[in-house]
Structures are given as structure tokens and as C-alpha cells.
Amino acid sequence: MDFLTLFAIYVVVVLTCMFLVCKYSGQQQTPFTLIFNAVGKVVAPFTPTWLQKASQWTLHRLFHQRNNMFIYLHVLLEVAVYGEFTYEVFGFCREMDTTLTSLSVPYILLAIKTVLFYLCIKSDPGTVTKKKAAGQVHIYPYDRRLFQPGLSCPTCQLIKPARSKHCSLCNRCVQRFDHHCVWVNNCIGAKNTRYFLLYLYSVCAMAGSIALLTVDMLLHVVLRSGLLMASYVDEYGQQQPAGPMFVVQHLFLTFPRIIFMLGFLVFVFFLLAGYTLFHSFLALVNQTANEWYKSRGYVCQHCHPTAAPDHLCNPAPDHSKRYYYSRGILQNLGEIFFPLQLVQKKAK
């Protein structure tokens, strides 16, 4: 099982790196910068100055500035998966009488995903501007918990609407800010959360459909070849029946690229499925990832034991309500897919 062990380790390492990149992108201190700094201190005496500056510039541009590298990586992985599926799996499936309708599903999903991916990249997430700020302030009420009225963004020099946040990578304040996604090189906010959710579902559907077709093909190979009834001679010269692990190893050695693709798709599917379920839950309760993260460590300053004895809490906001902006599932989803519009003042 040496090949399978190496394959599993490789996939785990790749997906761990992907997770860390998504989690820590945009932060000043990350595992990547800590490792880079530690290695840099060791090799600095032997490294030319120009190379050190170039490495620092590359690291900063990669993780602390907007760039299209992860878009290119996304497309590269997609091309690799669909190339392997078309080159090998498609032909095997046709030989095993899989219908063209079933085989066309991944390509239809690819077309849908490409449109949504483009919309996530190009659409305005809801940038707060001087022209729109006056109306955007009235879209959501301040909960006086996570969002306080009267606060201004020191960078944009604008009053911050409730649920907005300044994105350091995009250098702008975004209405109903959720997070900055490195894979689309754009913020996810009020106006493009709908595209982002559908994009996540489409990617999961793509990975799932290709994985199912590949598993179906491999099962047909196993059943038609009679591998389950076969036997082999072990290292001691004893004849042993072929069990599931032997079949998996045989398939890995016979179809290494297909098995690698399948393993990668399965890991990516479960990783994205969990992420998609999380964002679906947030949509149902009308909460953003930014609000969820901030509320985890929230402590009411007015009710804190160290607060001044003569300080009176403001009873107006409902601090007991966990999901302050929730208006019911249907209305919450309606707000995602039909974003609230600016409050326009009627001319007299």
C-alpha cells in the first residue's frame, strides 16, 4: 500500500495548504510568513540582497495584495481534472454504455460554473462610496453591538454603514461585507453573495458528478474483470483471496491518473461541501462570515464586570437576539438574491 499512502499524504498536504491560504489570506501574521521569516533568518547570510528583497516583495504581493494567481490556479486545476476526465474516463464510460446524457452533466455544470465564477470576479460586491454612503447608511439598522452608529472608516473617510467593513486587500469599504475570497480575487458582499453561493453549489456539483461517473466506471471494470473472485500469492508464497485493499491497489497501479483525480475530487468535494453548508446556514439566518467571526469573541462592554459602576446600558438594542438581522428564512434568502436597495430621498 505504499502508493496509496503516498497519495493520501500528498492530497492531505495539498488541501491543508489550500485551507491555510484561504484562512489566513490578508492577515499580517500567518503560518506562511512565520515559516518564511524563520527560513529567511537561516539562509539570509548566504542569500544576495536583491534575492531577499525579491522574495519579500513576492510574499507580500501574493498574500497581502489583490492578485490573480489563485484564479489561474483554479483554472489550471479545472483544466487538469476535465482533461483527464475527457481523455480517459469519458472513453471508458462510452465503452460501458454510459448514456451521453449522464456524461454531458459535468460539461453543463462547467458552463454554469464558469458564468457564476465570472460574475463573482467582475461584479461589484457593494462598494461604499461618497455618492452612495448617505443612502447605504439607512439600508440596515445599527445593532449597537457589533456595529455602532457614527463610526467612520479612517481609510475611506466615510461613515460606515451597519454590516460594512473595510477590506485591506481591495482598499474599500464593502456593504454587508462577508469575506475576501482569494479564489475569485474579490470581496463577497451585498451584491454578489448570491453569485458566490451558487458558485459554491456548482463547484460541488461538478466535483460530485465527475466523481460518481468515475466510480461507476471503476466498478464496471472490477465487475467485468472478475477481480473480486481473483487471488494472489503473498510474500510468503501463500495464495490469498483478493480483498478490497488489493482491488484498490490494483486499480491505482492500472489507472494511476484516474485514481489520483478521483481521490482529489473526493477530498475537494467534502472540503467544499462543508464550506458550502456553512455559508448556506449563514444565508438562512441572515448573518455574514464577518459577523459570525466577530460575534464569537464579542463581550458587551456595557455589561462587562470592569465597566464603570455608574454606566447605564442602552436598553434599545436587543442584545439577547443572536441573529439580529434575521427576518425569517424566506425573507433572509430574498435579501441574498434580491439585495436591499439604497434609500432614495424624494424630491420636494
286 band by pLDDT with thresholds 50, 70 and 90: very high
What is the reported pLDDT for 85? 95
Give the integer Cα–Cα distance in Å for 210 and 202.
12
Residues 65, 26 contacting (CB under 8 angstroms): no
| Residue 71 placed within a domain | yes
173 is catalytic: no
Radius of gyration of the chain (CA): 26
Residues 258, 88 contacting (CB under 8 angstroms): yes
φ/ψ of 174, rounded to 5, equals: -120, 130
Taking 3-state DSSP, the helix, strand and coil percentages for the chain, each rounded to the nearest 5, stand at 60, 5, 35
| Residue 88 placed within a domain | yes
52 and 72 belong to one structural domain: no
19 and 98 belong to one structural domain: no
2 and 117 belong to one structural domain: no
22 band by pLDDT with thresholds 50, 70 and 90: low
310 band by pLDDT with thresholds 50, 70 and 90: very low
| Residue 87 placed within a domain | yes
Kindly tell me the sign of the dihedral angle through the C-alpha atoms of 48, 49, 50, 52. positive
Top mean-pLDDT range of 8-17, 297-306, 336-345? 336-345
| Residue 132 placed within a domain | no
| Residue 220 placed within a domain | yes
Give the integer Cα–Cα distance in Å for 261 and 269.
12
Report percent pLDDT > 90 for the chain: 47
Top mean-pLDDT range of 193-197, 236-240, 344-348? 193-197
Enter the C-alpha cell of residue 106.
459535468
51 and 79 belong to one structural domain: no
41 and 88 belong to one structural domain: no
58 and 198 belong to one structural domain: no
Cα 24 from chain centroid (whole Å): 12
| Residue 161 placed within a domain | no
What does the pLDDT average to over 102-126? 96
231 band by pLDDT with thresholds 50, 70 and 90: low
For the segment 241-261, what is each residue's pLDDT rounded down to a tens digit?
A: 766 777 777 787 788 889 889
Residues 195, 123 contacting (CB under 8 angstroms): yes
- Type and span of the H or E element at 301: none
What is the reported pLDDT for 28? 44
Considering 65, 88, 104, which residue would you say is the last residue of a domain? Answer: 65
Largest CA distance in the chain: 97
Q: How far apart, in Å, are the Cα atoms of 122 and each of 69, 126, 164, 192?
A: 16, 12, 20, 9
60 and 198 belong to one structural domain: no
Q: In terms of residue numbers, what domain contains 271? A: 67-124+192-298+319-340
Q: Given a cut of 70, is residue 335 above it in pLDDT?
A: yes
Q: How far apart, in Å, are the Cα atoms of 91 and each of 65, 85, 236?
A: 43, 9, 39
Give the integer Cα–Cα distance in Å for 297 and 20.
21
Residues 102, 126 contacting (CB under 8 angstroms): no
Catalytic residue among 167, 181, 187, 204: 181
Q: Which of 175-189, 298-312, 328-342 has the lowest mean pLDDT?
A: 298-312
CA atoms within 13 A on the CB side of 11: 19
Give the integer Cα–Cα distance in Å for 290 and 147.
12
- Type and span of the H or E element at 281: helix 256-285
96 band by pLDDT with thresholds 50, 70 and 90: confident
Q: Given a cut of 70, is residue 203 above it in pLDDT?
A: yes
Q: Given a cut of 60, is residue 345 above it in pLDDT?
A: no
What is the reported pLDDT for 62? 59
290 and 223 belong to one structural domain: yes
Considering 65, 99, 114, which residue would you say is the last residue of a domain? Answer: 65
Position 13, amino acid: V
Q: Which of 50-54, 189-193, 213-217, 277-281 has the lowest mean pLDDT?
A: 50-54
What is the reported pLDDT for 234? 63
What does the pLDDT average to over 290-296? 87
50 band by pLDDT with thresholds 50, 70 and 90: low
How many CB atoms within 10 Å of residue 142? 18
90 band by pLDDT with thresholds 50, 70 and 90: very high
What is the reported pLDDT for 214? 94
pTM: 0.79
71 and 29 belong to one structural domain: no
Considering 15, 35, 65, which residue would you say is the last residue of a domain? Answer: 65
What is the reported pLDDT for 215? 93
Written as one string, the DSSP assignment of 146-173 is S--TT-EETTTTEEPPTT-EEETTTTEE
Work out the end-to-end distance of the chain between its first and last CA atoms, rounded to an integer number of angstroms: 79
What does the pLDDT average to over 192-214? 96
What does the pLDDT average to over 71-87? 94
Residue scoring higher pLDDT (151 or 347)? 151
61 band by pLDDT with thresholds 50, 70 and 90: low
Give the integer Cα–Cα distance in Å for 178 and 247.
45
74 and 95 belong to one structural domain: yes
Give the integer Cα–Cα distance in Å for 247 and 249.
5
What is the reported pLDDT for 302? 46
The total of structural domains in the chain comes to: 2
Q: Given a cut of 50, is residue 315 above it in pLDDT?
A: no
What is the reported pLDDT for 316? 44
31 and 116 belong to one structural domain: no
239 and 258 belong to one structural domain: yes
Residues 146, 294 contacting (CB under 8 angstroms): yes
